[in-house]
Chains A and B, each alone.
Chain A
Amino acid sequence: MANELPFIDPTEPRSGNPVNPAARPADLAGKVLGLLDNRKEQADVILRTVADALRERYGVARVVVRHKEHHSKLAPDALLDEMAREVDVAIAALGG
């Protein structure tokens, strides 16, 4: 619409390509669960609790825990790539 108007659109194309969400597994039995601790206080407690529950109730086979450097900083691509290779599902958690 803006192109039909005598104004400039102040927004710029976003960098990168759109990312489609990964396919969701039907169940968690025998799956590898990844947990990304963002390093907020008590995020580790929340994630441990979630991991225990998912193991007990849904049969998660193995849990892989990784940590961000700081909650306010992005996780580096290398860390995300490594998790993507190793785990079937991942959960990122906030603490606080």
Chain B
Amino acid sequence: MDAVDEFEFFLEKDWSDGLPVVTPTEVRLARMLAGTRRSADELIGTVPPAGGRATVRSLAIHALMAGCKPEYLPVVLGGMALILRDEFNLNGVQGTMHGVAPLMIVNGPYARKIGLHGGNGCFGPGFRANASIGRAIRLMLFNLGGAMPGAGSATIFATPLRYTACVTENSEHSPWESLAVSRGYSPEDNVITCAMVESPRLTFDDTNRDPQRLLTGIADSMTAMGSWNMHTRANMVVAMSPEHATLCTRAGMGRADVHHRLCELAGRKVRDLKGGGNWRRERALALPIEVDPDDDECFIPAIKNPQDLHLIVAGGWGPCTAICHGWAGVSRSVHGIYEEFV
């Protein structure tokens, strides 16, 4: 038999995201499984729509293929368990025409220990933990779930966030408690929050130092007419740079104040929404809030339930906020503590 080039083999088999993977061998698998005390045969769940079994072993195979270190495996395990929860509705997202991805926001000391990055350039390339943990999840959604575009997925564009979607907050420079602490966890807890969102859209503002004006500009980017946030109940992630967050803090606004104010400001009147975009009268009537589609002055907020807005502090120093809009289907965000490996 001719020698097989394993990199080409895995690409020809559609077992990758289009980039070469680390070849899974028994030796590498054993090394990866050393990253957990859990049994390799333990079933985490099945991945829709194909129903492939996500076991600790299959997670470890994909983690090594994606380029993870063994110490990343607890985050992959914790993230996958959350992503498979019913209320997250992975089945719907795998098949949808839209292009969202399960963004993992990892808080707590273990994220820092393994080098997850929440600072300068955190949504982009260059950071092994961010790149490989998110990639491991994506490879499983393909290989175990069958959600390749054109097969199990009807996505029109997908999103670059489907290569990887894993960040932490910039805890070193954030003026606020973390997202996890705002939800009642301890700062010592290792917590993952997952939300189905689109790629970040950047709102640059190097002009306004008054938080009310700053937040008005950010809120405007939360209300695009074609955004599902304006037409359904959907998640949204707002990642303020430490600089933007600090401007709010200096004016006396804490995290909860900014969260509350963004929920108030981000929205459009029926008159505006009727002008184009995704407006449908029956869609407006189906919203889980009171809306009068025949009243042009009626204000429709982008955030229908405050729980759906995930406000974090991330990125490097500079006047920018990143906003990720949500998905039309029913996907509720999920969060929970994951087991670190000591």
Residues of A within 8 A of B (CB): 4-8, 10-16, 41, 70-74
Among B73-91, those with CB < 8 Å from A are 89, 91
What's the Cα separation between A81 and B144 when bound, in Å? Answer: 27
When A72-B91, A74-B91 are in contact, do A12 and B329 touch as well, CB less than 8 Å? no
Among B1-40, those with CB < 8 Å from A are 1, 4, 6, 9-10, 15, 23-26, 29
B53–A15 touching, CB < 8 Å: yes
Residues of B within 8 A of A (CB): 1, 4, 6, 9-10, 15, 23-26, 29, 46, 48, 50-55, 58, 61-62, 65, 89, 91-93, 95-96, 139, 143-144, 280, 282-283, 328-331
Nearest 10 CB-CB pairings of A with B? A72-B92, A72-B329, A8-B24, A15-B51, A12-B53, A12-B52, A15-B46, A14-B51, A12-B58, A10-B61
Which residue on B lies nearest to A71, using beta carbons?
B329
A11–B91 touching, CB < 8 Å: no
Most buried by B among A10, A14, A70, A74: A10
Residues of A within 8 A of B48 (CB): 74
B139–A5 touching, CB < 8 Å: no
What's the Cα separation between A14 and B47 when bound, in Å? Answer: 9
B283–A41 touching, CB < 8 Å: yes
B330–A14 touching, CB < 8 Å: no
Can you list 16 residue pairs at the A/B interface with Cβ under 8 Å?
A5-B4, A6-B25, A8-B24, A8-B26, A10-B61, A10-B139, A10-B143, A11-B52, A41-B282, A70-B92, A70-B330, A72-B91, A72-B96, A73-B92, A73-B329, A74-B48
What's the Cα separation between A72 and B10 when bound, in Å? Answer: 31
Residues of A within 8 A of B58 (CB): 10, 12
Which residue on B lies nearest to A16, using beta carbons?
B51
Chain A interface, DSSP helix/strand/loop, else mixed = loop
A5–B9 touching, CB < 8 Å: yes
What's the Cα separation between A6 and B25 when bound, in Å? Answer: 7
Residues of A within 8 A of B46 (CB): 15
A41–B280 touching, CB < 8 Å: yes
Which residue on A lies nearest to B26, using beta carbons?
A8
B61–A14 touching, CB < 8 Å: no
When A5-B9, A15-B46 are in contact, do A10 and B62 touch as well, CB less than 8 Å? yes
In the complex, what's the smallest C-beta–C-beta distance from A37 to chain B, in angstroms? 14
Since A13-B52, A14-B53, A73-B91 are in contact, a sample of 16 more A-B pairs with Cβ atoms closer than 8 Å, ordered by chain A residue number, is A5-B4, A5-B6, A7-B6, A10-B15, A10-B58, A10-B62, A10-B139, A11-B52, A12-B53, A12-B55, A15-B51, A15-B52, A70-B329, A72-B91, A72-B92, A73-B92
In the complex, what's the smallest C-beta–C-beta distance from B51 to chain A, in angstroms? 4
